[in-house]
């Protein structure tokens, strides 16, 4: 890299628009959406889609709610032409969906495009030619007048070809290609000349598409360009201003959003941002950004994994794990502080009296996209007690007391450090069973018991307890069930424990519900020991919890 890049690169010039209005505007409704996955996205693939994949992709776009779909470039070759004409003539295009094709401004290519759409009930023919100085000078060797004439000639052919086919409801789109790096006055001049040929009206407007063919400036400058164009284009009510942002600077989504604030009506892009170089603007991100602001984008991504699966199959390109909204890891927290905040957020959400979503680190409810909460928190060496507790709650329904969370997290941390990998729910449950001795093969095991009440109100525990594999009868008296079990362990087994805290809760609902009990004990040496019990009966769960603590005491003896 150059120490002084100014010797090679020039800053993009600002737009003289001192009274710009877009910074104080907000997006309040969705734009018209056009998917160009099957044209712009397809031509950017290493291996372009075959007919089977194109048909599958088309069905996906229809199912998520796209009403305008650019289905291809008919003049690119027989494969493209045959697919488009077959799609139209098969009757697979729904009545509320408009197909669009792209063509350069050449007679033979325009005529071929119209032929591919024979029989369509409604269609858009999209005409384009490049207008920027670099293209005029380097690619075409033409002046302004010659470039404008290319657009005008193409518009006349559009008009005439449509007149030959009155059965189709024809609509036109014109793109001053390379708009983002062209002079604004010249883009307006060319678009005005095209409008004079096609004579749009408010009832039958012309789509003027203003592409950031190469994203060469910060998104605020693109917004200035759009606002300037919207202010100065004649008969603004007779045109639909469309944006086609690319992502060369990584700000395609921002450019599209600011462009909408600047007055645009329509967005062209691809699902997950596929497209040439760094891609077209991502329609999924744009739509879900609006959704998180309370705006219905009129696109349905409620089964985002189905959408991802189809796109990855058809494009043979992966969706990045960190891709906004769609990536495998975007709703996942590994950091302990993040996990704690999310866990508390979900708890607060359950206690709310309204439906407003407010969970730290999660701008959208994963369930709205068909994602489960199980993957929201995952555990590795960076995780904390809240994350471990969340996994147990989601996987097993256990709601650990805070001090037990801290106790157990030490064991999980040690395992994570030892294995140097992510721990799954199975790993965590195995460790929980081991630490709190829930499996049957323990020194103290409960076989059967009875609880009775003495005349003075004391509780009497009489049980058959397995001690080292031998069944023994033990009994104890106390002011409650737990204290009577502790007395039985003290008198019959020599285990002395005092209860510091106890809690319980139901696991599940209805007839299949079980109970979990947690007991925090202190032994004769002042050490804190935890016991956990799970059973269909809450009283039995508490007995099992005390025996779990006794096993811990014996293990530390």
Query: pLDDT tens, position by position, for the chain (557 residues)?
Result: 999 999 999 999 999 999 999 999 999 999 999 999 999 999 999 999 999 999 999 999 999 999 999 999 998 889 999 999 999 999 999 999 999 999 999 999 999 999 999 999 999 999 999 999 999 999 999 999 999 999 999 999 999 999 999 999 999 999 999 999 999 999 999 999 999 999 999 999 999 999 999 999 999 999 999 999 999 999 999 999 999 999 999 999 999 999 999 999 999 999 999 999 999 999 999 999 999 999 999 999 999 999 999 999 999 999 999 999 999 888 877 766 777 888 888 889 888 888 899 999 899 999 999 998 666 766 655 666 667 787 888 889 999 998 999 899 888 888 888 888 877 888 888 989 899 988 777 889 999 999 998 888 889 999 999 998 899 999 999 989 999 999 999 988 888 999 999 999 999 888 889 999 999 999 988 999 999 999 999 999 999 999 999 999 887 65
How far apart CA 41 and CA 282 sit, in angstroms, is 11
Per-residue pLDDT, 417: 82
Per-residue pLDDT, 456: 87
Instruction: Pull the structure tokens for residue 277.
Output: 């170089």
How far apart CA 133 and CA 433 sit, in angstroms, is 71
Per-residue pLDDT, 493: 87
How far apart CA 421 and CA 71 sit, in angstroms, is 45
Whole-model pTM: value is 0.80
How far apart CA 553 and CA 247 sit, in angstroms, is 62
**What's CA 242's distance to the chain center, in Å?**
25
Let me know: does 155 contact 206? Beta carbons within 8 Å. Answer: no
How far apart CA 461 and CA 53 sit, in angstroms, is 70
From the CA atom positions of the chain, what is the Rg in Å?
Answer: 34
**Burial class (CB within 10 angstroms; exposed 0-12, middle 13-18, buried 19+) of 71:** buried
């Amino acid at each position: 890299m150059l120490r002084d890049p100014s010797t090679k690169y020039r800053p993009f010039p600002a737009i003289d628009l001192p009274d710009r209005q877009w910074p104080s505007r907000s997006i309040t409704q969705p734009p018209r959406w056009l998917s160009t996955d099957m044209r712009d996205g397809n031509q950017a693939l290493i291996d372009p889609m075959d007919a089977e994949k194109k048909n599958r992709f088309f069905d996906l776009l229809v199912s998520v709610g796209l009403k305008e779909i650019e289905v291809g470039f008919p003049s690119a070759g027989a494969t493209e032409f045959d697919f488009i004409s077959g799609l139209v003539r098969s009757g697979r295009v729904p009545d509320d969906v408009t197909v669009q094709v792209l063509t350069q401004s050449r007679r033979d290519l325009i005529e071929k495009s119209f032929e591919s759409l024979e029989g369509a009930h409604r269609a858009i023919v999209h005409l384009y030619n490049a207008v920027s100085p670099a293209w005029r000078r380097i690619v075409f060797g033409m002046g302004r007048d010659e470039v404008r004439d290319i657009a005008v000639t193409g518009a006349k052919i559009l008009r005439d070809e449509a007149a030959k086919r009155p059965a189709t409801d024809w609509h036109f789109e014109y793109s001053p290609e390379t708009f983002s790096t062209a002079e604004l006055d010249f883009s307006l001049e060319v678009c005005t000349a095209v409008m004079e040929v096609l004579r749009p009206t408010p009832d039958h407007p012309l789509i003027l598409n203003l592409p950031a063919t190469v994203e060469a400036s910060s998104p605020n400058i693109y917004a200035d360009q759009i606002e300037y164009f919207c202010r100065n284009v004649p008969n603004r009510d007779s045109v639909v201003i469309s944006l086609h942002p690319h992502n060369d600077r990584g700000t395609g989504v921002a450019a599209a959003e600011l462009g909408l604030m600047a007055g645009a009506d329509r967005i062209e892009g691809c699902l997950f941002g596929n497209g040439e170089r760094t891609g077209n603007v991502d329609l999924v991100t744009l739509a879900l950004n609006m959704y998180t602001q309370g705006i219905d984008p009129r696109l349905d991504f409620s089964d985002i994994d189905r959408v991802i699966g189809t796109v990855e199959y058809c494009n043979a390109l992966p969706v990045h794990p960190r891709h906004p909204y769609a990536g495998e890891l975007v709703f996942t927290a590994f950091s302990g502080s993040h996990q704690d905040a999310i866990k508390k957020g979900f708890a607060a959400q359950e206690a709310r009296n309204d439906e407003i979503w407010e969970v730290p680190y999660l701008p959208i409810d994963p369930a709205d996209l068909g994602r489960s909460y199980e993957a929201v928190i995952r555990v590795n060496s960076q995780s904390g007690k809240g994350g471990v507790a969340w996994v147990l709650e989601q996987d097993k329904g256990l709601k650990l007391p805070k001090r037990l969370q801290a106790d157990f997290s030490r064991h999980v941390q040690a395992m994570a450090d030892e294995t140097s990998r992510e721990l799954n729910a199975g790993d965590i449950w195995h460790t929980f069973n081991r630490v709190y001795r829930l499996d049957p093969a323990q020194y103290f095991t409960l076989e059967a018991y009875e609880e009775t009440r003495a005349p003075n109100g004391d509780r009497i525990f009489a049980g058959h307890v397995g001690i080292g594999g031998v069944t023994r009868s033990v009994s104890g008296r106390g002011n409650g069930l737990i204290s009577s079990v502790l007395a039985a362990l003290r008198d019959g087994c020599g285990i002395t424990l005092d209860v510091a805290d106890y809690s319980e809760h139901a696991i599940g609902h209805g007839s299949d519900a079980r109970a979990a009990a947690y007991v925090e004990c202190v032994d004769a040496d002042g050490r804190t020991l935890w016991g956990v019990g799970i059973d269909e009966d809450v009283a039995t769960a508490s007995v099992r919890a005390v025996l779990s603590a006794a096993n811990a005491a014996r293990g530390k003896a």
